[in-house]
Amino acid sequence: MRLTVLGSSASYAGPGEACAGYLVEGGGARVLFDCGNGVLAKLARVADPLTLDAVFVTHGHPDHFVDLYALQALLRYAPAGPASALPLWAPNGLFERMQALLSDRGRTELYEAFECSELIAGEPVRVRDLTVTPRPVEHTEPTFALVAEADGVRLCYTADTAPTEGVVAAARDADLLLAEATLPDAYAGRAPHLTAAQAGALARDADVSALVLTHVWTTNDRSAMVVEAAAEFDGPVSVASEYAMYEVRPARHRKGS
């Protein structure tokens, strides 16, 4: 399985960055996890958006879905004619909320561009030979971590989350944990997000093999984030950056094995 970071920023993007968006390829499938502001342009640098098999949106904050509007235009006005509706998996009610910004014609084209289905906690979604299971986490509205499994490996993307048992359960035994790490230590507990140290503790408690920090506030010191996470987790730690690629490989060993 391969993970390509398209957007690593939280809420607003820094120079050359984008907000939440990750290309996951495995089991013969190519899917997008979140589609925040700036993601579509980044995706076009590494893959043809028309080759996506599905899009998964973790929750209804704009920095995780707003580029769906751009993707809608690309799908409906593709060079060879309108593309087939792209499967879109999202929390209940998000697709309906998106229509509020659109004209009658825009709403019609939204339905033509996407075939939307509701994410259900614990109910796996199969895309070719890739399985994606949504797991509920604690944020400001219904939010799901996404657990992708294919080719004998497991990737967990936390989405936005407070440090709770729910996200530990979602991340359990992941070969790669893509964990949000929005907050500087000084803001720990001020919002339902993780600090780098809390993401490290999550990786440790969930017994994952490697940790990638993402959803980074643009003014954070990314080098310091690695140090803070590594103080809690003794496996490989890195901070996501646009176009970074990670090959997700089976763990060689786990605790107690």
User: What pLDDT is recorded for position 252?
Assistant: 59
- Does 151 have pLDDT greater than 50? yes
- Give the whole-number percent of the chain exceeding pLDDT 90: 95
Residue 252 lies in a domain: no
Decide if 83 is inside a domain: yes
- Is the per-residue pLDDT at 254 higher than 80? no
Q: β-strands 2-7, 245-247: how paired? A: antiparallel
Mean pLDDT of 43-62: 98
Whether residue 145 has pLDDT greater than 90: yes
Other Cβ atoms less than 10 A from the Cβ of 180: the count is 28
- Residue 39 predicted with pLDDT over 90: yes
| Total count of domains within the chain | 1
Domain that holds residue 47: 2-247
Average pLDDT over residues 19-28: 98
Average pLDDT over the chain, rounded to whole? Answer: 96
253, pLDDT greater than 90: no
What CATH number does the domain containing 98 carry? 3.60.15.10
What average pLDDT does the segment 46-51 reach? 98
Per-residue confidence (pLDDT) for residue 257, from 0 to 100: 39
Average pLDDT over residues 71-96: 97
- Domain-located, residue 253: no
Kindly state the tokens that stand for 229.
């996470």
Angle at 94 between CA 125 and CA 145, to 5 degrees: 45
What integer is the mean pLDDT of 220-241? 97
Domain annotation covers residue 131: yes
The SS3 of residue 144 is: strand
Q: Is 81 exposed, middle or buried (0-12, 13-18, 19+ CB in 10 A)?
A: exposed
Residue 254 maps to a domain: no
Which whole number is the average pLDDT over 65-71?
98
In a domain, 61, yes or no: yes
**pLDDT number for residue 251:** 81
Q: Per-residue pLDDT for 188 more than 70? A: yes
- Smallest CA-to-CA distance from 170 within 149, 196, 192, 145 is with 145
Helical H segments across the chain, by residue range: 39-46, 62-65, 68-76, 94-98, 104-113, 165-171, 196-205, 222-230
Q: What is the mean pLDDT of residues 145-170?
A: 98
pTM, two decimal places? 0.96
**pLDDT by residue (tens digit) across 132-142?**
999 999 999 99
Rounded CA separation 217/221 (Å): 9
* 40: in domain: yes
User: Does residue 223 lie in a domain region?
Assistant: yes
